[in-house]
Amino acid sequence: MSSEKSVRPFALFPLAALSLFSLLLSFSHYGNPFPFMGSFYLAEAAERFVFVDSLISLYLLIGILKRQRLTLWLLIGYNLLDICNAWVNLALIPAAEYARLAAVPIPEGELRFNTLFASLILMLLNLYLYANRRKFDNRSPYLF
């Protein structure tokens, strides 16, 4: 193994930090309603969704740290699914439902803006991933 390959590329550090933040954010949703594809899931179903989301986030974080090629494509797909989920939720779940569950008023305009902004950030992240795809040089399909 050459010394160049043993050094982690700096471009992956912000990506790893963002994945760690995503993992912590997934953990923090445990016990709260979980919106997925136009429906709110409550109680046990929501906890299962959060658990699976946390496992996926953990897998993606470890895959980024190990520079696994498969993780690159899984992360791009995960981001695209997240964007689709956000827009389907925006279309099918009224802002009043979010406000009822959050117990605070949520203006519909702000909900739209936040969804658009988050979608834009995720698309930029996907472009960043694609631009740095050569840094994911571990072709093994296994993390361990």
DSSP state for residue 141 in the 8-state scheme: S
Give the burial class of 12: count Cβ atoms within 10 A of its Cβ; 0-12 exposed, 13-18 middle, 19 or more buried: middle
For the chain, the helix, strand and coil percentages under 3-state DSSP, each to the nearest 5: 70, 5, 25
In 3D space, the residue among 66, 83, 79 whose CA is nearest the CA of residue 137 turns out to be 66
Which residue is associated with the tokens 């956000």?
86
Contact, 38 vs 89, CB < 8 A? yes
Length of the chain in terms of residues written: 144
- The secondary structure element, H or E, covering residue 73 is helix 69-92
Per-residue model confidence as pLDDT tens for the chain (144 residues): 444 555 667 878 888 898 999 889 888 888 888 899 989 898 899 999 999 999 999 999 999 999 999 999 999 999 999 999 999 999 999 988 888 888 888 888 999 999 999 999 999 999 999 998 998 888 888 877
